[in-house]
């Protein structure tokens, strides 16, 4: 029996006989393997060493369903001989052995996003509203989902947040619309997606350990821009970040798609923005040449931090591109509350605020957080992922009361501070992985004590590390939890 051509297969086709390899065993990898088996494809799932009961249980389930699963060390070094298509998890770099071998043999490489796009049901073509950017993706997508739900639509946040996209598109009850968060890694392996509306929130240095080499930043930016390709209605860009507008100009979009800017200033025609403290639309109203439609006020939002307001404007633009009413935008944004560890106020005592923004895992995110406060004791450090901190320090040095540094790459930040803010007091708190036996609480106790010694009334002690957490903590959430617990311990002891 001849095997089907993977490039021609869709949701209603017979996938029997197609030989697929799924690389990676995370949430998206398991979803891809599970649904490929459901379609009738042969599946080999490869990952490096399952380490917890949940992964082993998933592996056993896939084997029961007919997959071959290899989780041993070295499992992802060699691509099997009988392969028609490779479905990769986003963590695999393009030069990883499996992908390099697939390219050399002319085997198609899809990400889970590409697979999901190919599996949409032709009878109910659910629109995708897609978001990428260095920072703010999750918040914006969750805001967007809240707005869509306020409009009475069956929506779900998918992709890099929430439900795997392939699970959403295979749901027997079709969604009205999907709010899709996409990382640059996911976009790198996506070739045919055509979003109804798409947004790049910002582009700044991040993941340069994945995008290696002298052209790394250019490659990272180009992958972000892939979200605009084939966009149908609206390409939403950040007026304050010219790189995002340039990506729109370079994109090959569906005829009639419009460029829609979002700005914290007064919006021009074709933009959403602010008029004093009111979020307004001059893009999706018939009278946009002369008037703006009120969407909501800054006080309706959970935070008035500039980056939070910008995220709300981007979410509103995407929702309006889908046809959502002004009232639904207002109601959805009023109802939205950000996840933990994103500009979360832990405590206020004696005029000092303590804020957990552990989710600020790169310099751009940390800069946005720092710029929301006038005087800061900054807690920073961790895994820098190849990023530099000179631009950040130059931008915020006038706001810094002091800095407390932790983590493996703390010297990278310390060197930027010595170059551009030599008068700012810097303290280093040592601690390695052994400190995490208590969840990192003892380490953060020393951090909080050091920060408290520097803070004065009117200051904010801000955990905005600018780095990933895995050198000392299991996740950014664990880092934030340890910080919050240490703050509460100190304040309770002062009673």
Residue 57 pLDDT = 86
What's the mean pLDDT in 278-286?
96
What's the mean pLDDT in 177-201?
95
pLDDT band at 466 (very low <50, low <70, confident <90, very high): very high
List Cα–Cα distances, 165 to 6, 41, 126, 299, in angstroms: 19, 19, 12, 33
Residue 204 pLDDT = 82
* Whether residue 474 has pLDDT greater than 90: no
Residue 94 pLDDT = 85
* Whether residue 300 has pLDDT greater than 90: yes
Cα torsion angle, 341, 344, 164, 192, sign:
negative
Q: Helix (H, G, I), strand (E, B), or coil: what is residue 328?
A: helix
pLDDT band at 385 (very low <50, low <70, confident <90, very high): confident
The residues, ordered by sequence, that sit 6+ positions from 13 with a Cβ below 8 Å of its Cβ are 4
- CB 248 within 8 Å of CB 236: no
What's the mean pLDDT in 318-322?
98
For the ranges 205-219, 263-277, 403-417, 451-465, which has the lowest average pLDDT?
Answer: 205-219
Residue 491 pLDDT = 87
Helices (H), 323-386: 326-335, 363-370
* Whether residue 397 has pLDDT greater than 90: yes
What's the mean pLDDT in 329-352?
90
- Calculate Rg over the CA atoms of the chain: 24
pLDDT band at 492 (very low <50, low <70, confident <90, very high): confident
Cα torsion angle, 412, 201, 332, 159, sign:
negative
Q: Helix (H, G, I), strand (E, B), or coil: what is residue 202?
A: coil
What's the mean pLDDT in 453-462?
95
Mean pLDDT over the full length of the chain: 91
- CB 274 within 8 Å of CB 263: yes
Dihedrals phi, psi of 18, to nearest 5 degrees: -75, 130
* Whether residue 271 has pLDDT greater than 90: yes
Residue 207 pLDDT = 56
Residue 322 pLDDT = 98
Which is nearest to 198 in space by CA: 274, 144, 161, 241? 144
- Count the residues in the chain: 495
Residue 50 pLDDT = 58
The residues, ordered by sequence, that sit 6+ positions from 280 with a Cβ below 8 Å of its Cβ are 267, 272, 273, 274, 292, 293, 294, 295
Residue 51 pLDDT = 65
Q: Helix (H, G, I), strand (E, B), or coil: what is residue 378?
A: strand
Which is nearest to 335 in space by CA: 302, 368, 358? 302
* Whether residue 308 has pLDDT greater than 90: yes
Distance in angstroms (rounded) separating the CA atoms of residues 79 and 108: 13
Chain segment 212-254, per-residue pLDDT in tens: 655 678 888 999 999 999 999 999 999 999 999 999 999 999 9
What's the mean pLDDT in 295-320?
96
Residue 437 pLDDT = 58
Helix (H) or strand (E) holding 236: strand 234-238
What's the mean pLDDT in 424-444?
77
Chain segment 51-110, per-residue pLDDT in tens: 678 778 888 999 999 999 998 889 999 999 999 999 998 888 888 999 999 999 999 999
Q: What is the DSSP letter of 437?
A: G
* Whether residue 435 has pLDDT greater than 90: no
- CB 253 within 8 Å of CB 292: no
463 - beta bridge partners? 356, 379
Residue 434 pLDDT = 43
Residue 54 pLDDT = 79
């Amino acid at each position: 029996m001849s095997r089907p051509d993977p490039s021609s297969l869709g949701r209603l086709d017979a996938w029997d006989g197609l030989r697929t390899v799924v690389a990676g065993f995370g949430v998206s990898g398991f979803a891809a393997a599970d649904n490929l088996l459901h379609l009738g494809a042969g599946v080999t799932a490869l990952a490096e060493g399952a380490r917890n009961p949940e992964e082993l249980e998933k592996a056993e389930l896939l084997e029961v369903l007919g997959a071959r699963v290899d989780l041993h060390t070295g499992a992802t070094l060699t691509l099997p001989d009988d392969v028609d298509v490779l479905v990769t998890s986003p963590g695999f770099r393009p030069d990883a052995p499996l992908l390099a071998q697939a390219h050399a043999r002319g085997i198609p490489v899809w990400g889970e996003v590409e697979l999901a796009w190919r599996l949409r049901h032709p009878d109910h073509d659910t629109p995708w509203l897609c978001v990428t950017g260095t920072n703010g993706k999750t918040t914006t997508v969750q805001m967007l989902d809240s707005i869509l739900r306020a409009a009475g639509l069956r929506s779900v946040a998918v992709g890099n947040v929430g439900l795997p996209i392939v699970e959403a598109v295979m749901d027997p009850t079709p969604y009205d619309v999907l709010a899709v968060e996409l990382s640059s890694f996911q976009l790198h392996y996506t070739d045919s997606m055509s979003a109804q509306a798409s947004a790049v929130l910002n582009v700044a240095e991040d993941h340069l350990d994945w995008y290696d080499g002298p052209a790394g930043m250019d490659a990272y930016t180009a992958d972000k821009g892939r979200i605009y390709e084939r966009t149908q209605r609206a390409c939403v860009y950040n007026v304050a970040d010219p790189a995002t507008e340039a990506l729109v100009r370079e994109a090959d979009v569906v005829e009639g798609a419009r460029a829609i800017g979002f700005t914290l200033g007064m919006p021009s025609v074709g933009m959403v923005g602010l008029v004093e403290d009111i979020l307004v639309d001059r893009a999706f109203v018939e009278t946009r040449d002369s008037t703006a439609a009120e969407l909501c006020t800054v006080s309706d939002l959970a935070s008035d931090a500039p980056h939070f307001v910008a995220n709300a404007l981007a979410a509103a633009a995407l929702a309006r591109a889908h046809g959502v009413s002004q009232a639904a935008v207002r109601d959805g944004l009023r109802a939205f509350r950000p996840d933990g560890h994103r500009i979360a106020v832990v405590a206020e005592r004696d005029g000092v605020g303590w804020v957990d923004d552990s989710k600020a895992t790169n310099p751009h995110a940390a800069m946005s957080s720092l710029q929301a406060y006038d005087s800061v004791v900054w807690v920073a450090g961790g895994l820098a992922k190849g990023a530099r901190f000179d631009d950040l320090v130059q931008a915020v040095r006038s706001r810094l009361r002091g800095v407390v540094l932790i983590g493996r790459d703390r010297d990278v930040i310390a060197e930027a501070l010595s170059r551009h803010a030599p008068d700012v007091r810097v303290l280093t708190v040592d601690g390695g992985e052994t400190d995490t036996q208590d969840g990192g609480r003892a380490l953060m106790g020393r951090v909080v004590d050091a920060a408290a010694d520097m803070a004065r009334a009117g200051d904010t002690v801000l955990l905005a590390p600018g780095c990933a957490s895995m050198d000392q903590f299991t996740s950014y959430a664990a880092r934030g939890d340890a910080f919050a617990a240490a703050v509460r311990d100190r304040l309770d002891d002062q009673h």
